[in-house]
């Protein structure tokens, strides 16, 4: 513990949960504030570092993705002893009004729209890709594909 009466976050690691629970409410409140601030600072540091990594590798990842004829998804490339794993998730948006009209058309034709879409009028990508071509073609005008937030993971390769 610290030399003052105030318990610090580092002190908690050496304390039993029951001992922490027995602390006065003002001590717990101060610890929560300290933990929140530490978490906020760590998040800011992670965001800053992620931004720097993205700046360093975004162009190269785009070139590798383009060479692989991929708009989205995960690609890998090396930078010295580090393998860079760059992920650009696919985000699909659906025009809700167009979907509602298509669902009514499916119903009018005697089919069950639940076989094609979820009740919230969201179309899971796995269902969309499994549809017959004529169904996909009908839904295509309601579908917009955009890229999600890119992420990068750096893995130091073990040297044999």
Phi, psi of 155 (to 5 degrees): -120, 120
Cα separation, 51 vs 45, whole angstroms:
10
From first to last of its 160 residues, the chain has per-residue pLDDT tens of 444 678 899 999 899 999 999 998 888 888 998 999 999 999 999 999 999 999 999 999 999 999 999 999 999 999 999 999 999 999 888 888 898 899 899 999 999 988 888 866 788 899 999 999 999 999 999 999 988 888 777 777 777 6
In this predicted structure, what is the pLDDT of residue 85?
A: 96
C-alpha dihedral, 43 to 46 to 51 to 57, nearest 10° = -150
Nearest Cα residue to 125 out of 100, 156, 148? 148
In this predicted structure, what is the pLDDT of residue 3?
A: 47
Cα separation, 49 vs 131, whole angstroms:
41
In this predicted structure, what is the pLDDT of residue 109?
A: 93
Nearest Cα residue to 141 out of 92, 98, 106? 98
DSSP annotation of 142 reads G
Total count of residues recorded for the chain: 160
Domains in the chain: boundaries? 1-69, 71-160
């Amino acid at each position: 513990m610290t030399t003052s009466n105030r318990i610090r976050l580092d002190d908690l690691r050496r304390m039993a949960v029951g001992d922490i629970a027995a602390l006065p409410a003002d001590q717990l409140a101060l610890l929560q504030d300290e933990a929140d601030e530490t978490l906020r600072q760590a998040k800011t540091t992670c965001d800053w570092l992620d931004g720097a990594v993205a700046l360093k590798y975004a162009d190269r990842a785009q070139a590798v993705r383009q060479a692989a004829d991929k708009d989205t998804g995960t690609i890998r490339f090396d930078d010295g002893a580090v393998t860079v794993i760059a992920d650009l998730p696919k985000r699909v948006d659906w025009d809700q009004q167009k979907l509602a009209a298509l669902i009514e058309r499916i119903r009018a034709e005697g089919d069950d729209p639940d076989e094609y879409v979820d009740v919230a009028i969201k179309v899971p990508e796995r269902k969309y890709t499994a549809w017959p071509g004529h169904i996909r073609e009908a839904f295509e005008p309601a579908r917009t594909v955009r890229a999600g937030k890119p992420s990068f993971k750096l893995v130091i390769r073990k040297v044999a």
